[in-house]
Structure 1
Amino acid sequence: MGDNAEQTTAKVDPRTRLRYTKASEREAVWFLGDRIEFILTGEMTDRRLMMYYHESHPDSQPPLHEHEVEDEIHYIIEGGITYWAGDEEVTLYAGDSMVLPRDLPHTFRSLPNVSTKWFTITSPTNFEDFVREMSEPCTVDGPQPGWEMTPELATRLNDSAKRHGITLLGPPGTLPTDVPGGTQPVVRG
Structure 2
Amino acid sequence: MPGVEAPPLTVIQPGEGREGSLGSIGVVFKLFGEQTNGQVSVVEHPFPVGALVPPHLHTLEDEYSIVTEGAIGFRSGDREVVLEAGGYITKPRGELHTMWNAGSTLARMIEIISPAGFEHFFWGLADELTDGPPDPDELARLAEKHGLLFQDAPWLPDLVERYGLTPLPPR
Shorter chain as denominator, the TM-score bin is 0.7 to 0.9
**Deviation readout 1:133-168 (Å, 9 max, x if unpaired):** 1004999xxxxxxx9xx5x55554333212210111
Q: Does 1:168 align with 2:150?
A: yes
| RMSD between aligned residues | 2.7
- 1:17·1:45 contact (CA, 8 Å) conserved in 2? no
Change in 2 beyond 3 A, CA 1:155/1:82: farther
Give 2:164's aligned residue.
none
Q: Does 1:117 align with 2:108?
A: yes
Rg larger in structure:
1
The one-letter code of the counterpart of 1:69 is: L
TM (norm. structure 1) is 0.70
Give 1:157's aligned residue.
139
Q: Distance in 2 between matches of 1:95 and 1:56?
A: 16
Aligned sequence identity (%):
26
Where does the alignment leave 5 or more consecutive residues of structure 1 unmatched?
A: 1-12, 140-146, 176-189
Give 1:67's aligned residue.
58
**Deviation readout 1:62-87 (Å, 9 max, x if unpaired):** 21111011111110111111111011
Q: Distance in 2 between matches of 1:138 and 1:159?
A: 15
- 1:83·1:109 contact (CA, 8 Å) conserved in 2? yes
- 1:29·1:137 contact (CA, 8 Å) conserved in 2? no
Change in 2 beyond 3 A, CA 1:158/1:170: farther
Where does the alignment leave 5 or more consecutive residues of structure 2 unmatched?
A: 158-171
Aligned length: 152
* 1:135 partner SS: helix
Residue correspondence of structure 1 range 8-157 to structure 2 within 5 A = 15-136=6-127, 156-157=138-139
- 2:24·2:52 contact (CA, 8 Å) conserved in 1? no
Q: Distance in 2 between matches of 1:96 and 1:14?
A: 39
Q: Distance in 2 between matches of 1:117 and 1:34?
A: 10
- 1:28·1:138 contact (CA, 8 Å) conserved in 2? no
Change in 2 beyond 3 A, CA 1:155/1:32: farther
TM (norm. structure 2) is 0.77
Q: Distance in 2 between matches of 1:96 and 1:135?
A: 27
* 2:118 partner SS: helix
- 2:71·2:103 contact (CA, 8 Å) conserved in 1? no
Q: Distance in 1 between matches of 2:136 and 2:100?
A: 18
The one-letter code of the counterpart of 1:170 is: D
**Deviation readout 1:70-118 (Å, 9 max, x if unpaired):** 1111101111111110110111111101110111111111124321111
